[in-house]
Amino acid sequence: MRNVTAWARRVARWVCWPAVVLLAMAMVPAAATAGPGTKSDREWLDIEIFTDVPDPGHPEGILVAPNGTVYVATHQHAVETPGPPSKIFAYDRDGEFLREYVIEGQDLEKGPGLVGMGMDADGLLYVIDRNPYRIITIDPETGEQSDYATFRDVQTCLPPLTQEECSESLLKRNSLPDDLTFAEDGTMYVTDVRQNLIWRVPRGGGDAEVWFTDTRLDSVFGPNGIEVMPDGETLMFVQSFTGPFDGVPPRPDTGRLYTLTVQPDGSPGELDLFWESEPGGIPDGFAIAQSGNIYVALAVANSLAVISPEGEELGRNPANHVENLLLEVPMDSPGSVVFLDDRVLVTNHSFLVGNPNSFVVYDIYAAEKGLQPFRPQIN
């Protein structure tokens, strides 16, 4: 059963909810023509192309700096032959190319790839690298790079199989960090989609420590996008595929948003179900508006859905697969979401298909602004 009571109480501490806005949003259908906030010539959730992403393509991680510079990180195809080093591309707020950063020290034999991104108070970028498993920092001004945190293999296979039964199978569970978020005190939380856990990286970096595990997270593709909520006491994160040990009967074809409190002593608190997708939805990244609305990329449904602070879907675009095919560039495994003014930018990952024509970042009109993530002082 969905548990949103505690979450609603926490939202009430940091969001002002005019009754008229709530009523208007509740009446907005999926194919809305007006958004929840400001006026514009664009319809709510109208989709445009923000920019194309050059080789090696597969845009995944994305970040918007306080000055409006947009950073996009490249990944790779699910079965792609290992290729050149990953890159981060910088764009201005209109989608015009500024510069690129080539990632150093990657294991090109195993397939490079960048995913989640963050930024501190000094403007340093923090980026998850998948080969090797680490977080690197990049100075956008100089391009200087250094290692910030490292990860390790903790779990070897999905229960109830033994290590011997899956040591050489597709169920082998190496570390696979996916997304990161900073807390106000500089603590970083990192999801691991393959080992189905959440890491904690102390302020200043170093070896990541296992912070949260739960049998409800055990699945073939687990914790994904993650954010620290403005109260500083709550994490929200995506579970891309619902675990086979969560629910009767199990629903491995759905995905979920969970909330997880951080106790005053830093330990994890209660894990609460906030929202569950329809079968085949499969959420990936998300971003949170100042209103508390949550904009979620649905990687398999190929859509952007908007979820209210009460856990109800307000609308989505494209509404179905036919509408998606009618787009200038159809959505193809949309990955990460970030606010830029009153729009959200969404990376078109093309993780499963690997179509070069899909390597774009979308500009989707949200008609409201996003929350600013914590950017703590690290050094």
Q: Quick one: pLDDT at residue 78?
A: 67
pLDDT single digits (tens) 15-72: 333 332 232 333 333 444 455 655 679 999 999 999 999 999 999 999 999 999 999 9
Whether residue 250 has pLDDT greater than 70: no
Q: Choose between 361 and 18: higher pLDDT.
A: 361
How far apart CA 191 and CA 212 sit, in angstroms, is 10
Closest CA to 227 of 295, 290, 180: 180
> Which single residue is written with the structure tokens 């909520």?
229
Place 3 in a pLDDT band, splitting at 50, 70 and 90.
very low
Is the alpha carbon torsion for 334, 339, 344, 347 positive or negative?
negative
Query: What's 233's DSSP letter?
Result: S
Question: What whole-number percentage of the chain has pLDDT above 70?
Answer: 82
Whether residue 274 has pLDDT greater than 70: yes
Write down the mean pLDDT value for the chain: 86
Whether residue 163 has pLDDT greater than 70: no
Q: How many residues does the chain have?
A: 379
Domain 5-365 has CATH 2.120.10.30: yes
**Domains of the chain by residue range:** 5-365
Q: Quick one: pLDDT at residue 269?
A: 96
pLDDT single digits (tens) 106-157: 988 887 899 999 999 999 999 999 989 999 999 999 999 999 999 998 866 6
29-33, 132-136, 183-187, 221-225: the lowest-pLDDT one: 29-33
Q: Quick one: pLDDT at residue 17?
A: 30
How far apart CA 348 and CA 47 sit, in angstroms, is 12
Place 379 in a pLDDT band, splitting at 50, 70 and 90.
confident
Instruction: Count CB neighbours of 330 within 10 A.
Output: 16
Q: Quick one: pLDDT at residue 165?
A: 62
Beta bridge partners of 49: 362
Query: What's 231's DSSP letter?
Result: T
Average pLDDT over residues 218-240: 93
Q: Quick one: pLDDT at residue 271?
A: 96
Closest CA to 347 of 100, 75, 77: 75
3-7, 249-253, 271-275, 316-320: the lowest-pLDDT one: 3-7
Whether residue 11 has pLDDT greater than 50: no
Q: Quick one: pLDDT at residue 37?
A: 59
Question: What whole-number percentage of the chain has pLDDT above 90?
Answer: 69
Q: Quick one: pLDDT at residue 20?
A: 28
β pairing state of 206-207 and 145-150: parallel
How far apart CA 64 and CA 349 sit, in angstroms, is 18
